[in-house]
Amino acid sequence: MGRKIIAVDPGIMGGTPCFAGTRVPVQTLLDYLEGGDSVDEFLEGFPTVKREQVIAFLRAATERLLATVR
């Protein structure tokens, strides 16, 4: 995806990490997943977030987590 995945801007949602180009906090995706909802359900509720952004975020999070246990 050659674009920024997450943006932090004090003028948008008080600096909460959001999916770039949106006002949707990344934490919202995590809350959906923790609650048992699917990525598709999240995307239905937040159409400004692209599937590619979600996949890129999950891949990056996975890579970082796995790097800490190696």
What tens digit of pLDDT does each residue of 28-68 get? 999 999 999 999 999 999 999 999 999 999 999 999 999 99
Is residue 2 pLDDT above 90, yes or no? no
Domain 6-68 has CATH 3.40.228.10: no
Contact 53, 5 (CB under 8 A): yes
So what's the pLDDT on residue 69?
87
- The DSSP string of 3-66 is S-SEE--TTSGGG--EETTSS-BHHHHHHHHHTT--HHHHHHH-TTS-HHHHHHHHHHHHHHHH
For residue 70, the model assigns a pLDDT of 76
Dihedral of CA 47/50/54/60: which sign?
Answer: negative
